[in-house]
Amino acid sequence: MGQLVTAAKITHVPSMFISEMDGPHQGCRQPAIDGLREIGRRAREDGADTFVVLDTHWLVNSGYHINANPVHAGCYTSNEFPQFIREIEFSHQGATELGHAIAAEATEHGVLTRAHDDVPSLGLEYGTLVPMKYLNGNDWPQQLPVLPIAGWLHDATMEESRTVGEAIRSAIDASDRNVCLLASGSMSHRIWSNDSVADGLFEISRPFNELVDHLMIDLLIEGRTSEFVAALPDYAQHCSGEGGMHDTAMLLGALGWDSYGQGVEVVTDWFPSSGTGQCNLLFPVH
């Protein structure tokens, strides 16, 4: 039988790439990079053999979608930040069987979900590729298979994402996989306006968002998950949560939703990036 062995809410900010370039911002995101590497280390220590990534950069408009291709390989340039994320070559094994099992389980419980294993041109988005560089890159002795799931659902509800999260957990439990589940997205996500963004790399765009980010993170630290999920829809709306924070809803659905009472571990402290609020949080799994 399979297991969910590690779970985390992680950042994928492009400025981690800037941090590794020569220039005035070299090293600026080292805590975020170190946090991702630590989560990768913990996942392997926990026995993980597969990464499942809930990617808030993969936008879908109808149903839920899973990239179950047996191999993910190619060269990626972000259409959002081609000056930073460019010509990134990647190669990861996929997890086809698990992808189909999740899709079948979610669909059976009322949320139409499709797994695609025959579309080589269905590439990866940078909500997967950026964290995989640090969690699962060539510098690791062993790279783990990767299963990306769309985490930006244009017309879905939080309850649907909760159901998909529960389906993810059920399918993992019935599989032969030990999974590290990653919700890849920010906390608040109000990016600076175009005329200000160049000067706002290290600033939050709205003080209100910073206050609410810290409040919501504190709820998770204190194990007050029922209060967190009750506030999640309003939080996502009023603080512009990335991808509607469906990644977070799926993650918590997999962990037990409002009955999950574990206190999270802050691996990378909250930090602002181009107006948004970011962090790396590890959710204990027992």
pLDDT at 42 over 90: yes
State pLDDT tens for residues 146-192.
999 999 999 999 999 999 999 999 999 999 999 999 999 999 999 99
Which of the residue ranges 48-52, 228-232, 262-266, 282-286 would you say has the lowest mean pLDDT?
A: 282-286
pLDDT at 195 over 90: no
E strands present in the chain: 3-10, 50-60, 64-67, 71-76, 88-93, 113-116, 146-153, 178-184, 265-273, 276-283
Quick one: three-class SS letters along 53-64? EEEEEEEECCCE
pLDDT for position 173: 98
Helix axes 225-238, 207-221, angle to 10 degrees: 160
State pLDDT tens for residues 214-259.
999 999 999 999 999 999 999 999 999 999 999 999 999 999 999 9
Q: What is the pTM of this model?
A: 0.98
Are 129 and 51 spatial neighbours (Cβ–Cβ below 8 Å)? no
State pLDDT tens for residues 65-110.
999 999 999 999 999 888 888 999 999 999 999 999 999 999 999 9
For the chain, list the domains and their CATH numbers: 3-283 (3.40.830.10)
Q: How confident is the model at residue 38 (pLDDT cuts 50, 70, 90)?
A: very high
pLDDT for position 238: 98
CA-CA distance, 73 to 276, in Å (whole number)?
30
Q: What is the dihedral of CA 261, 267, 268, 269, to 10 degrees?
A: 50
